[in-house]
């Protein structure tokens, strides 16, 4: 299972995603592709963000204790904080 949340990504890139993932709500993509396909999708998204901006959060199932992993790319409002293998999202302090 994977969930992808996009922000400020071009429509063309989003369109390609719907080949593997469903979009139950705008900006949110859900699916259950193989790990290989998931990596291809994520690499594609990361390349896009690195060259044209925008941001993404990827959450996918993982055999760890937590059961899933979180990855972020670009300027997301929350970063991740690793507590000895337990990954929790961290929001920058409000000023």
Partner 1 sequence: MKTSLHEIGRFDDRMSFLYVDRAIIRHTSNAIAIHEFDGVTDVPISSIATLMLGPGTKITHEAIKALADNNCLVIWAGEFGIRFYACGMGGSRHSRNLLRQAALALDERTRLQVVVRMYLRRFADDAIDPEITLQQLRGKEGFRVRQAYADASKATGVPWDGRNYARKDWYAGDPVNRALSAANACLYGLVHAAIISAGYSPAIGFIHTGKQLSFVYDIADLYKVELTIPLAFEMAGRHTQNMEREIRTEARRRFHRAKLLQQILPDIRHCLDVKAEEQDEFADDPALPAGLWEPESFTSETPIGQILGLHHGDDAA
Q: Does residue 95 belong to the site contacting partner 1 (CB under 8 A)?
A: no
Residue 93: CB minimum distance to partner 1, A: 5
DSSP structure string for 18-45: TTT-EEEETTEEEE---HHHHHHHHHHH
* Residue 6 contacts residue 27 (beta carbons within 8 Å): yes
Give the nearer residue to partner 1 in terms of CB position, either 39 or 62: 62
Residue 67: CB minimum distance to partner 1, A: 9
Beta bridge partners of residue 73, listed in sequence order: 56
Residue 20 token pair = 């593997």
Please give the residues from 54 up to 93 whose contact with partner 1 meets the rule CB under 8 A. Answer: 64-66, 79, 81, 83-86, 88-93
Binding track, positions 2-31, relative to partner 1; x by CB under 8 A: ------------------------------
How many Cα atoms sit within 13 Å of 49 on the Cβ side? 19
Beta bridge partners of residue 81, listed in sequence order: 88
Please give the residue ranges that form the binding site for partner 1 (CB under 8 A): 64-66, 79, 81, 83-86, 88-94
């Amino acid at each position: 299972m994977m969930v992808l949340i996009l922000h400020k990504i071009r429509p063309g890139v989003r369109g390609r995603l719907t080949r593997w993932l469903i979009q139950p709500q705008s900006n949110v993509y859900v699916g259950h592709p193989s790990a290989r396909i998931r990596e291809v999708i994520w690499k594609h998204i990361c390349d896009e963000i690195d060259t044209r901006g925008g941001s993404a959060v990827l959450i996918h199932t993982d055999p760890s204790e937590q059961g899933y992993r979180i990855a972020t790319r670009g300027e997301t409002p929350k970063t991740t904080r690793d507590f000895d293998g337990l990954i929790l999202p961290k929001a920058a302090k409000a000023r």
